[in-house]
Each structure stands twice: as structure tokens, then as C-alpha cells.
A = this chain, B = another copy of it.
Amino acid sequence: MLRARGTGRRPVMLAIAGDSAAGKTTLTRGLVQCLGADRMTAVCVDDYHRYDRAERKGKPFTALHPDCNHIDIMEQHLQLLSMGEPILKPVYDHATGELVRPELVEPRDFVIVEGLLPLHTRLARACFDITVYLDPPEILRHAWKIRRDCEKRGYTPDQVRAELARREAESAAYIRPQRRSADIVVRFAPVAGRTDPPDTPLSAELLLRPTIDHPELGPVIEQAASGGTAMHLRLHRDTDGRPVDALHVHGYVSPDESQVVKKALWERLGARAGHLEQDVLGRFGEAGTSDPLAITQLLLLYHLLDADQRQAA
């Protein structure tokens, strides 16, 4: 279902930014499965490399550096997608490190753009209705990256660690500053000081910036938590002093508690959510499920459908 050109309706654009192996694909997958691939286009913007792997060898920067990427073309393509236009997107083959045949991407009703630098420039940011930054603790992200790159991309753990060290300065300079530009900062992490059973999912801490209109969640959470500590919404100052709401959904939340919040969010989605697949939310890895992840995805679904409705109005 392509959004017809000339109707004046544009796709709803969601950015999911974050460092390598921060969990972008996991978060995206549930959203695409829930809304349906016929209504949603997922685009990874890590393919705009100016140099292939062999050419990068002699360069004084890693693939994270903006100078190593066609940032102006990425901006152009984001603008085109946001206007409902197709793009011929470059493709980088992670297995071979080569730039290969580009692919046609046609925006559907919803476009999720995930990658390392989608929020790097002002013009790129201006293309999005909703912006998310994934911010796991570095120690966790490193473990995820080592596991993924060894299992799926054929590296050894030492090679991945060396690459992480090489990238650290550029992560700090270019990736992490995007956190500041996100409407929602998502941090999956274990809760400090607790010794939950080993299969307890990670907790989610969601910073909800007042840059977009979030659903009113306070009363729901108060009711669901009924004095417990597994979920709470707190007014908070971010590390830079700016006010935010911080929504915590702990991994040890009981199914009953999380069910109250999920139900309340589904109700807010209303009739628009009638045909959505609910049980694809919260899945990770081969067979894991996580209520904190499901609630995070539900909140993003709320924003996607809300922006879509405002487009239609």
C-alpha cells in the first residue's frame, strides 16, 4: 500500500538511531511485524558509505565518521522518502565489505529509518515525525556486538573488541550526541542492585521528552503498579539538566501489572489498532519475550498511528 503521490499525505517517518548492536533491529522487527510489511517500509541508513572496506583501510577514520559517508545523499533520500517519493538506495554488503547494486525503496504509510547517523544533521532530523535513540549501557552493547559479529559476520571476539576500541572516539563524537535529539531515549539494562533469575528480561527506561505529545500514562501506571516498584513514571532531569518524564518498566514486572499498561495503551490506539498483530511485540533473539520491550514497542506504535491520524486530519 504505497501512499499515493499527489494525495498530499506523506508517510509517517520514525527514526531509530543508535550505535552498532544497540538493539535497533530487534526494536524495528516487532513494529514491522505488528503493522504489516504492506504498510511499513524499514530502511537502514548505514549503507551510505563513501568508501568500501578496502578503500577505508588507508583512511584516518572508521565507517562511523560522517566524512566516511554520503551524508548529503542520506539527507536527500530522507527528504524524498518523507515526501512519499521512491529512492534508489545504496547497498553495502557487510559480508564482503563492498558497495553493490542499489535497491529501489518505495515508502509505504510508515517508514522506519534505523542506523548509526539518521539524526546527525538538522536537515535529516527535520524529516522525522518521531525520533528514538537506543542507549544501552556500553558494557551490554559491547557484549551484544561481540556475539552478533562473531555469530553472523564471522569475526573473532578479539577482532570485534579491537574494532570497538578503534571506534570509541567516533562513537563519542558522532553517535552518542544524537541522544540529545531524540523524542524518546530507550535504555534496556539490568536493574542495579537486584539479583533476579537469569532469564529475567532487561528493564526498559524510557525518557519521554516533551518534544512530541506522549499519551497520558501516569494514572494507568499508578493503577497497575498499585504501590509496587516494577513500573513508575517520574519527572526527571536529564544529564543535561533538561526536564523529561522517565518511564521505567522493570524486567521483573508481573504479567498482571504489565497487562494493565498494555491494555491501556491498546485502548488508546482505539479502532486504528483493530487489525494489528498483538503477540509479535516483545520478541527478541530466537525465542525470548520481554514485557518491557513490548511496552516500548506499543508506545512507538501509539506515536506512529497518532502521527498518521494527524496526517489524515
Contact = CB atoms under 8 A, between A and B. Distances in A.
Given A76-B80, A80-B76, A88 B101 contact: no
A183 to B, nearest CB: 28
B76 A102 contact: no
Contact of A100 (B73, B86, B101): B101
Nearest to A99: B101
A196 to B, nearest CB: 48
A86 B104 contact: no
A272 B99 CA distance: 41
Interface string A91-109: 0000000111110100000
Contact of A102 (B86, B88, B98): B88
Interface residues of A, number: 18
Nearest to A80: B76
A157 interface: no
A70 interface: yes
Interface string A57-94: 00000000000001011001000100001111010000
Contact of A88 (B73, B86, B98): B73
A207 B52 CA distance: 47
Contact of A70 (B73, B85, B104): B104
A76 B85 contact: yes
Interface in A105-121: none
A76 B5 CA distance: 14
A88 B98 CA distance: 16
Contacts of A98: 101
Contacts of A102: 88, 90, 99, 102
Nearest to A73: B88
A137 to B, nearest CB: 36
A50 B100 CA distance: 14
A19 to B, nearest CB: 25
A312 B140 CA distance: 57
A83 to B, nearest CB: 11
Contacts of A99: 101-102
B100 A72 contact: no
Interface in A37-63: 50, 52
Given A50-B104, A90-B101, A100-B101, 20 more contacts: A52-B101, A70-B88, A70-B104, A72-B86, A73-B86, A73-B87, A73-B88, A73-B104, A76-B80, A76-B85, A76-B86, A88-B88, A88-B90, A88-B102, A90-B102, A98-B101, A99-B101, A100-B100, A101-B101, A102-B102
24 contacts: A50-B104, A52-B101, A70-B88, A70-B104, A72-B86, A73-B86, A73-B87, A73-B88, A73-B104, A76-B80, A76-B85, A76-B86, A88-B88, A88-B90, A88-B102, A90-B101, A90-B102, A98-B101, A99-B101, A99-B102, A100-B100, A100-B101, A101-B101, A102-B102
The 7 closest A-B pairs by CB, nearest first: A99-B101, A73-B88, A102-B102, A90-B102, A88-B90, A72-B86, A70-B88
